[in-house]
A and B are shown apart, each in its own frame.
Chain A
C-alpha cells in the first residue's frame, strides 16, 4: 500500500498574507492558493466550505470573489458535501475553471467523477485546481456539537476554533479559553464511512495539505501532479508562500507516514472485519 500516494515534492509552507493567516486553520495554504488562482485566472471560482444554517455547520458554496474565499477559512470538523455543488458551479455559476477543496474521500469522488461522469455532463473537464486536505476522520454535525458542547463544555456560539492534534481535540473560545479532551473520547462519534477510508493525505488531489508534520502555524504540502506543480511553482515565485524543505522541519514526513500507516492499516482491518460480519453475511466492500 502506498501510504502517502504519488507526489513530486513535499514542503513545509506558510502563506505570506497576514490577513489569510489571521483566521486560517494552519498555514493558510488552501485559502492563499485559491486567492492566487482566482487573481491569475487559473480558476474563476472555488467550491469551499461556507457558513451553513447552524453555528459551525459548513455548507458548500461556490465562491467567486476573494471575500467569499476568505470567509471560508478554517476547518469545521463536520461534514461539508463539497461535491454536491459541482454541477451547480458549472451550470448555474457558469464557471469554466473550477477550484475545489476537499477531504481525501472527496478527492476520490472527484477523480471517479472525472473517469465516470455518469450524471455530470460537460462538468468534469472544467476542474482546474483540486486541493485536498489531510483527514483522519470526520463527524456529523450533531456529533461535533456533542463533542464541543458536552465534552469540551464550550457553547458553539462562543467557539472560535477547533483543532485536532497531538492526540487531543481542542476547542478555543472567543475569549481565549482553551478546552481539550483526549481524542479517544471522540472516536465513537466518527462518521461510520470513515472507518473504511484508505487515504489520509488526499493522494488524488493536485496539491494536498495538512498540519501534521510541520511546526505550528505551518503546513505540510504535497505537490502531486503536473497541474499542481505548475500552479504551486508560480504561486511560490509570486511570493504567495514561504517554504522550507520538509526535511528541515520537525516532526516532518516521518509522523505523516506513521499516521497514514496507522489509519490505513486500521481501516483495512475494518474492511476484513466487515467481510466476516454476521454469519455468512458480511457488509459490502466498495473497493472492487
Chain B
C-alpha cells in the first residue's frame, strides 16, 4: 500500500533507517504527521469567479470526505462561503470555480492575484476550464450578448490542472486533492504516482489555455477521437454527459450539439482521449491509496 495505513505501523527507529537517502526525510515527515497531523498539510483555497456554486457544492459533497481532507491534508485558507478570509492569501493550491467576467474589474484582478499567490491553479469545473454554461448557455436557449463577456480562466492566466465537468464529480475532486497532496508532500514513489495521475489533467489545462482551443465541446470526441480512428464504441462519453446530449447510435456517439453545454466531461472521460497504462494498470493500488487516505484511522 502506497498510502493510508501508515498509522498502523510503528515508526522506524531513526538510527536504523536502511532506506535510500531520499526516502529518509520522508519517513521522518510521516512520523511527524502522526504526532501532529497539522504540520504536513497543504493550503488550499476556493476562488469564486462567475460560477453557480455547484462546484463548491461538489467539493463539499464528499460528505465526511471533506472533513477528512481538512483534518489531515489541507487547510482551507480561502473560501468566501466557508472560511473567514476576505483577501486572497498565499496558498499551495487554488481551486477556481467559474469563468472570468471581463466586464468586472475585480474578477480580472482576483484571478491574476490567484495566479500570483497560488503554486498550483486548478480550474474546478466546466466554467473555469472552458466557459461552459456562462459562455454557451444554449441548452435550448438563445445565446445572449453578455455571454461574450465571460472567458475561461485559462484565457487570462496560465492554469495547471483542469477538472472538467458540470458539476465536477465529487470523487474526481477528491482524487485530485489526494494526488495534489502526494505531489507536494509525498515521498519519491508517491510523487511519481501523483505526477503520472495528474499529467493528463495538466495536459488538458495546457491545451485549454491556448486561445484557439479554450473551449470544450462534445465535438472534441468527434474531432480528436472518432476522426482519428480511435473510437471503440465503449459509451463512456455518453454516460459522462451531464445533459444527456450523447446517445449511442450503431455503436458510436451521436451528439446533440444544441444540448451540449461545453463542459468537457465526455472527452476527458473517453479512454481513447488519454489512457496511461502506468496509471491505470495500478488501479487497485491507487483506489486503495485514496480509500486509505480518506480513512486514515484504517477502520
Contact = CB atoms under 8 A, between A and B. Distances in A.
Contacts of A196: 230
Interface string A128-148: 000000000010111000000
Given A81-B251, A288-B276, A118 B165 contact: yes
B97 to A, nearest CB: 16
Contacts of A193: 229-233, 272
A122 interface: yes
A87 interface: yes
Contacts of A191: 231-233, 251
A88 interface: yes
A225 B275 CA distance: 21
A84 interface: yes
A122 B65 CA distance: 13
Given A286-B273, A286-B274, A122 B170 contact: yes
B239 A85 contact: yes
Nearest to B237: A84
A105 B271 contact: yes
B172 A113 contact: no
B279 A113 contact: no
A52 B281 CA distance: 33
Contacts of A114: 283, 287
Contacts of B175: 115-117
B47 interface: no
Contacts of B280: 108, 111-112, 115, 204
A121 to B, nearest CB: 4
Given A116-B172, A288-B200, A87 B240 contact: yes
A124 B286 CA distance: 14
A80 interface: yes
B28 interface: no
Nearest to B174: A117
B230 A119 contact: no
A284 interface: yes
Interface residues of B, number: 56
A109 B271 contact: yes
Nearest to B250: A141
Given A122-B171, A287-B275, A116 B231 contact: no
Contacts of B272: 193, 286
Given A81-B238, A119-B240, A121-B169, A112 B271 contact: yes
A120 B235 contact: no
Interface in B269-299: 269-277, 279-281, 283-284, 286-287
A288 B203 contact: yes
Given A111-B280, A115-B286, A78 B251 contact: yes
Contacts of B251: 78-81, 140-141, 191
Given A193-B272, A286-B274, A287-B275, A83 B283 contact: no
B127 interface: no
A193 B229 CA distance: 5
Contacts, number: 171
Contacts of A211: none
Given A119-B239, A140-B250, A204 B234 contact: no
Interface string B146-171: 00000000000000000111011111
A194 interface: yes
Nearest to B284: A225
B268 A118 contact: yes
A288 B287 CA distance: 20
Contacts of B283: 111, 114-115, 204
Contacts of A192: 229-231
Given A88-B239, A191-B232, A116 B199 contact: no
B228 interface: yes
A196 B231 CA distance: 10
B56 interface: no
A197 B233 CA distance: 13
Nearest to A84: B235
B173 to A, nearest CB: 10
A113 B236 contact: yes
Contacts of B266: 119
Nearest to A197: B232
B171 A125 contact: yes
A106 interface: yes
A45 interface: no
Given A113-B236, A140-B251, A108 B271 contact: yes
A46 interface: no
B240 A118 contact: yes
7 contacts: A81-B233, A108-B275, A116-B268, A119-B265, A191-B251, A193-B272, A204-B281
Nearest 5 A/B pairs, CB to CB: A84-B235, A81-B235, A79-B251, A119-B240, A119-B265
Given A117-B169, A286-B272, 20 more contacts: A78-B251, A79-B232, A81-B234, A81-B248, A105-B232, A105-B234, A105-B271, A108-B280, A109-B232, A112-B269, A113-B239, A115-B197, A116-B268, A117-B175, A119-B263, A120-B171, A193-B233, A203-B281, A287-B277, A288-B200
Interface of A: 6, 60, 78-88, 102-103, 105-106, 108-109, 111-125, 138, 140-142, 191-198, 203-204, 225-226, 283-284, 286-288
